[in-house]
A and B are shown apart, each in its own frame.
Chain A
């Protein structure tokens, strides 16, 4: 390998990269706020006994789960304005696209967690005279929310990386700024390496946190 790395030229772009990182983090946080709250609501709709509620909710989940995120983003940017006559700021569109994508995945996480509450727990609730609503509030949900936390965080890290996709629709996130810097410095290898390191440095500790939570739960369930 004869390529010699030279990171010195990148220093001129640090401010832009920091701005980009700020946008990326904002996108991630906003998308997660949408995903964590609406994901829960969609999960409840998916488990509804009413077909009119259940089927649209299922279609929503499957659309976002079964198409590439990059197409969803492009679709939001180019098709939504034309089809629905809705013109929003590009960052808002980015948040919506990523947020709804995460909503679909989190809905599945919540659904799996709620359905994994053992039947015995329901029986115990009935035997203690708790009403159906009380059983949901005091037995099923606390149980389910706890067991869904690791998956929610994993999905959240996933969306943090997916934010890089919005660079293609000119949102000035970390990836966008990196591409710009690579062009001005003629140092694409160094630039994208640096950017990868930044994404990694943020994702890795959070991924470790998930593992720690899961380990603790494993010990606890013994």
Chain B
């Protein structure tokens, strides 16, 4: 069984590496990426010298006894691809949900591009969220969360039309372009239940991209997928990475973490225990807890 899993991982790595080589050898595509990449970099360039994201002293508890975040601090520079790993209940997903304004916090704050946009108001026990700043962040969830009553294309155009007041024609044109790029052009008029899990998740990524996010959050986006569908979703994220999209990824897929991360953060017990390059974390973890976690994950 172990060997089979390792072999599957190996196959998958070859598959994705081949795709990435293909992407890189395709000149137009590379140029497109270069332009797109610079576009993302310009977005972050206005804040040179300071981190793209600064998470300060986040505390969050669901009840007096269940404390999920215990003073979490984390900085992310522009252009980084941060992968957050760690045991279940360690606060990884909660961190992303807080950054998206989906969870209240007890104390602490989050800055994006130099602006504080999430801040606990301890006197009122409420969390203040600056929506204009938060709208620059896109998120993809574990369970696709496509709107079942809308076609794929309508799923993509809903938010641009309603939130930004974009015209239907313009939103549909951008939506089709995005779907075609993700190999889903033929599915534009299908409904979510007619798609495979992998296709749904790619649509969910496209839907988030429709709002031109400056940062993408991926919360265990491949955890609910059948193993053979994981690669197609990871490839799409790899493509985005190639274009220079800053991203923060929570995943249990260590192979994926190793390959996409510019930096890996090990999160447990509601704090960041250790961070470093993929090589440092996976090959030479310093903390006992990190070692223990990786041992369990890799069944060594």
Chain A residues in the interface with B (C-beta under 8 A): 120-121, 123-124, 126-131, 134, 138-139, 142-143, 146, 220-222
The 7 residue pairs across chains A and B that have the minimum distance between CB atoms:
A124-B145, A128-B159, A142-B149, A129-B163, A127-B139, A120-B145, A220-B193
* Contact for B211 among A124, A126, A129, A139, CB less than 8 A: A129
B147 within 8 A of A: yes
In the complex, chain B residues whose CB is within 8 Å of the CB of A146: 149
* Contact for B207 among A126, A128, A221, CB less than 8 A: A128
The answer to whether B211 and A128 have CB atoms under 8 Å apart is yes
B138 within 8 A of A: yes
* Contact for B102 among A123, A130, A134, A139, CB less than 8 A: A123
Given pairs A123-B102, A127-B139, A143-B149, 19 additional interface contacts (CB within 8 A):
A120-B143, A121-B145, A123-B145, A124-B141, A124-B146, A127-B102, A128-B159, A129-B131, A129-B134, A129-B159, A130-B158, A130-B159, A131-B163, A134-B162, A138-B147, A142-B150, A143-B147, A143-B148, A146-B149
Interface size class of B (residues with CB under 8 A): 20 to 34
The answer to whether B131 and A121 have CB atoms under 8 Å apart is no
> Given that A121-B147, A128-B211 are contacting pairs, would A138 and B102 also be in contact in the complex, using a CB cutoff of 8 Å?
no
The answer to whether B141 and A120 have CB atoms under 8 Å apart is yes
The answer to whether A126 and B159 have CB atoms under 8 Å apart is no
Q: Report the Cα distance A131→B158, complex, angstroms.
A: 12
Can you list 29 A-B pairs with a CB-CB distance of less than 8 A? A120-B145, A121-B145, A121-B147, A123-B102, A123-B141, A124-B146, A124-B147, A126-B100, A126-B102, A127-B100, A127-B138, A127-B139, A128-B158, A128-B159, A128-B208, A128-B211, A129-B211, A130-B158, A130-B163, A138-B162, A139-B147, A142-B149, A142-B150, A143-B147, A143-B148, A143-B149, A146-B149, A220-B193, A221-B193
In the complex, chain B residues whose CB is within 8 Å of the CB of A138: 147, 158, 162
Q: Report the Cα distance A120→B145, complex, angstroms.
A: 6
| Interface flags, B130-169, vs A, CB<8A=1, else 0 | 0100110011010101111110000000110011000000
Instruction: Find the A residue at minimum CB distance from B134.
Output: A129
In the complex, chain B residues whose CB is within 8 Å of the CB of A142: 147, 149-150
| Interface flags, B75-105, vs A, CB<8A=1, else 0 | 0000000000000000000000100111000
The answer to whether A128 and B102 have CB atoms under 8 Å apart is no
Instruction: Find the B residue at minimum CB distance from A124.
Output: B145
Nearest CB of B to A220, in Å: 5
Q: Report the Cα distance A131→B134, complex, angstroms.
A: 13
Q: Report the Cα distance A123→B94, complex, angstroms.
A: 13
In the complex, chain A residues whose CB is within 8 Å of the CB of B191: 220
Nearest CB of A to B97, in Å: 8
Please indicate which of the listed interface residues A128, A131, A142, A146 has the most CB atoms of chain B within 10 Å of its own CB. Answer: A128
Nearest CB of B to A166, in Å: 38
Q: Report the Cα distance A168→B208, complex, angstroms.
A: 61
Instruction: Find the A residue at minimum CB distance from B137.
Output: A127
Q: Report the Cα distance A220→B148, complex, angstroms.
A: 10
Q: Report the Cα distance A129→B208, complex, angstroms.
A: 10
Please indicate which of the listed interface residues A129, A131, A143 has the most CB atoms of chain B within 10 Å of its own CB. Answer: A129
In the complex, chain A residues whose CB is within 8 Å of the CB of B208: 127-128
Nearest CB of A to B21, in Å: 33
Q: Report the Cα distance A126→B193, complex, angstroms.
A: 22
Q: Report the Cα distance A131→B162, complex, angstroms.
A: 9
Nearest CB of B to A108, in Å: 22
| Interface flags, B180-211, vs A, CB<8A=1, else 0 | 00000000000101000000000000011001
